[in-house]
Amino acid sequence: MGRLKAFHVVYTRGCPHCVPTTVEPMKKAAQEIGLPCILYDIDTKDEEKADELVRKYGDWSDDYLIPQVFFEYEDGEFKHVLTGRPEGVIFTKRALTDVLDEALKGQR
């Protein structure tokens, strides 16, 4: 894996695991290190792109959990790094904090 190129987030506005729990910290982290944060709202025309991303790299099922977060690397690789936690929003928030802390260590 090379250096990070972009963050990708599959979400929907009506999901508390997504907004603000995941989307806002992902946008902030991306801005902090100068990367794009590409958002795919499954309740819009982005649904097809979101489904494709989750099908190829994520936790796919017909009724998949959201949010799902992916890192894209300069070498073209995608890595699935987070799926929303069904145990509760606080668990998703903790998992996201851990993912971002680890990922951003070498990017700053």
More confident residue, 23 or 106: 23
* The CATH number, out of the four listed (3.40.50.720, 1.10.10.410, 3.40.30.10, 3.30.1360.20), of the domain defined by the range 4-104: 3.40.30.10
pLDDT at position 103? 82
pLDDT at position 108? 57
Which range among 2-6, 30-34, 102-106 shows the weakest confidence by mean pLDDT?
102-106
DSSP string across 53-91 = HHHHHS---TT--S-EEEEEETTS-EEEEEE--TT-HHH
State the helix-helix crossing angle for 89-104 and 23-33, rounded to 10 degrees. Answer: 10
* Whether the predicted pLDDT of 64 surpasses 80: yes
Task: Provide the pLDDT confidence category of residue 79 given band limits of 50, 70 and 90.
Answer: very high
Residue spans of the domains in the chain: they are 4-104
pLDDT at position 105? 80
pLDDT at position 42? 98
